[in-house]
Structure 1
């Protein structure tokens, strides 16, 4: 006891005393009274008011409708967000009427979604299902409105799904273009680098390639735009730019790599054409003796058209030599396109001169041959006529008039040409041109017959009575 009293007295808070008294009071009350008091004792502090199992069921049903509507709202919102990305993908790539129509249709659908979503949010805000004093009728009304909102959300979601299905072709096309974009830009950059390297190699070989350098410089701004990306310039435009840059850079690269060989080829052609021009100048000098021989032995009709050949040949050779000097200067200045064009002009001049100079010698040779023995030319032409006649009669009793008539005319022309050789001063050149014209006509008839029979349009046994006398001459 002494020890106990020696302890200092502890102060007891009044609140603690009250708590103990409350507990003791409850303990002393009869059991039925405790049951009655306890609910009211714990009803304060935000706890829910109880109104029986039926009311709680209605609250639960309303909460379930709210949860279901929220799930539908979330699905619709997720689908709309995904579809908006698809629309943005399409419009970034495609500017066709179909893409623009899809964009406007999606905007209209979005406005309807906003209306349905607003009604859903209003229904949620209108009813606090966690209120202590929530009435059963209010819970029932909340469930009805939330179920209606869910149905509207589901219907517009179904419509959104159908709209998305219809976008599939446009979206596939847009995604394919997007898939091509990055590789196309990378190829363009790599080709530009290759072109620059090829140009550097050409310059290291002593070739200036100023025109190629200027073309490459024009691609610099295009490369800048490629680096800025499709976000600034659009997918379609960037893709087109990348393909254009790659194509132009590839052309520059090819030409730059081919410059050494091109220079060598121009050098070879310069040497070759100079040699040919000198040879033609020498040959042109031989035309005059040939003309003298023609004048001495044959009538004027046989050589008059060749009178200007010596002067024309000499002038053409001089012009070719002047163009060769210009081509040489262009080569030294590395104006490759000019050098190539000038060499083409030289070649054309020398070809025409060669033909004219050769024509004089060929004329004399042919006239010599026919003057000594025209029989070979006659037989050659007559054989062509008879061969065509046999073909025209194959499988027929009489030839087709459209085939027989020109063949009969050919026989008559040949006969007249042969008769003209009996004069004192025969025109052998006219004779040769006539026989050549006859053979040309005959060849045309033969080609027509074979074409008709090859297509099956010719009749096998016609009864036409056209002039067929020529077929047995």
Structure 2
């Protein structure tokens, strides 16, 4: 009696035939396993390629896609051959003879080896994708957080603008900049599938940076307004004071003309008119700055206030120069010896420094110091006549002191670099 699960052996129950059928079946199972592994690996790798394609538009990315397509063609061919071989051999036939089973086993074994070789080639290809895939996955991992940062940045900027407006500041320029980000927000919401991962990441980063800048400026607006008001008040007061001081330059010039030679004051002749003109220009710029502040054009207000400060600095220096000139000329006309002694002391101090640790000075140091001695003597000799040119005398001694200071600095630099003797007492040594 035959049960439902028994096989009818039409070939006499031959042990060899049954063994050949079993071997063929084992080869078929092994080929099926190899086919499954290859198919699974190909599907997994296709996901990796799609990941790279979504991010990488580089030559390396395009080559990876092209190479995968070519590899897929070869895999499809091997898979087709496997299916053909499986379909060609029915190992459950009752009349399957040993020769047919042997042939089936041979072909299935060969097909399995082809599948394994294709799998090995696929594995090598996948290993070669390591860096590209890692970069792509890194960018994909950044995508969602980057888009969320951009959205949160826009929200924070909008809230900061609302707070600034609530304090009475219009912030129209910042509002316009924020509105200009709306098209980018729309594209971020549409997603990387439509606009690409790389482009979306770049857009998200750009939006986040700009939103943060807008938020920061909006939060600083009250401080900016207060600082601008303070600078306006301070510069307005300074301009008024300079206007008063400029009016005192003419009496100073009158005394210079009366008591000293023309060489001592001729370069100051234009100071009164220049001071008045510059102060007037500064006051005009102050009015423009006030208007810009009222209209809350903060960059314009800041720029105009910087111009005002520069104009007032120039005027202040010119007005101060006239007063300083008269004071210095008074002192030197009364007694020029203290100025001469100060200059000669500076020269002697530099000479001692130049000789520190030496038997003879370096000509690079000695020559300008010796020339300075001659220049001082010549300047003193030039103080002749009823109205000596005291201003030339003073400027010459100032130039000598500058020369001496340069020599001292050169010596000290060389000492610090180890190319000279150890630093000793000298000008600026604190002795």
TM-score by length of 2: 0.92
Deviations 1:424-457 (A, max 9, x none): 4221111111111112122222222222332234
Shift of 1:423: 4.1
Query: What's 2:342 paired with?
Result: 380
Shift of 1:172: 1.8
Query: What's 2:11 paired with?
Result: 50
Query: What's 2:298 paired with?
Result: 336
Judge conservation of contact 1:48–1:131 (CA < 8 Å) in 2: no
**Stretch of structure 1 that moved more, 115-124 or 57-66:** 115-124
Of residues 52, 61, 86, the one that matches 2:48 is 86
Write the distance in 1 (CA, Å) between the matches of 2:330 and 2:421: 46
Deviations 1:144-192 (A, max 9, x none): 1111111122122122222222222222222221111111111110110
Shift of 1:371: 1.6
Give the match's secondary structure for 1:69: helix
Give the match's secondary structure for 2:360: coil
2:321 is equivalent to residue 362 of structure 1:
no
Shift of 1:458: 4.7
How do residues 180-259 of structure 1 correspond to structure 2 at under 5 angstroms?
A: 180-259=142-221
Judge conservation of contact 2:11–2:97 (CA < 8 Å) in 1: no
Point out where structure 2 has 5 or more consecutive residues left out of the alignment. 423-431
How do residues 413-428 of structure 1 correspond to structure 2 at under 5 angstroms?
A: 413-428=375-390
Shift of 1:48: 5.1
**Stretch of structure 1 that moved more, 115-124 or 227-236:** 115-124
Write the distance in 2 (CA, Å) between the matches of 1:119 and 1:406: 98
Write the distance in 1 (CA, Å) between the matches of 2:377 and 2:47: 89
How do residues 32-431 of structure 1 correspond to structure 2 at under 5 angstroms?
A: 47=8, 49-51=10-12, 52-431=14-393
Deviations 1:315-338 (A, max 9, x none): 111111111112222222222222
Query: What's 1:448 paired with?
Result: 410
After superposition, the Cα gap between the structure-2 partners of 1:48 and 1:231, relative to the gap in structure 1 and judged at 3 Å, is farther
Query: What's 1:439 paired with?
Result: 401
Shift of 1:91: 2.3
RMSD: 2.1
Bigger-Rg structure (1/2) = 1
**Stretch of structure 1 that moved more, 390-399 or 278-287:** 390-399
Deviations 1:29-53 (A, max 9, x none): xxxxxxxxx89xx9xx995523411
Q: Please list every run of at least 4 consecutive aligned residues from structure 1 whose deviation after the TM superposition is greater than 6 angstroms.
A: none
Shift of 1:357: 0.6
Shift of 1:299: 1.0
Write the distance in 1 (CA, Å) between the matches of 2:133 and 2:123: 14
Shift of 1:98: 2.5
Give the match's secondary structure for 1:49: coil
Judge conservation of contact 2:264–2:391 (CA < 8 Å) in 1: yes
Deviations 1:402-443 (A, max 9, x none): 222222222221221122124442211111111111121222
After superposition, the Cα gap between the structure-2 partners of 1:455 and 1:106, relative to the gap in structure 1 and judged at 3 Å, is farther
Write the distance in 2 (CA, Å) between the matches of 1:58 and 1:157: 28
After superposition, the Cα gap between the structure-2 partners of 1:421 and 1:58, relative to the gap in structure 1 and judged at 3 Å, is same
Judge conservation of contact 2:356–2:421 (CA < 8 Å) in 1: no
Query: What's 2:427 paired with?
Result: none
Tell me how many residue pairs correspond in the alignment: 420
Shift of 1:239: 0.7
Deviations 1:216-254 (A, max 9, x none): 111111111111111111111111111100111111111
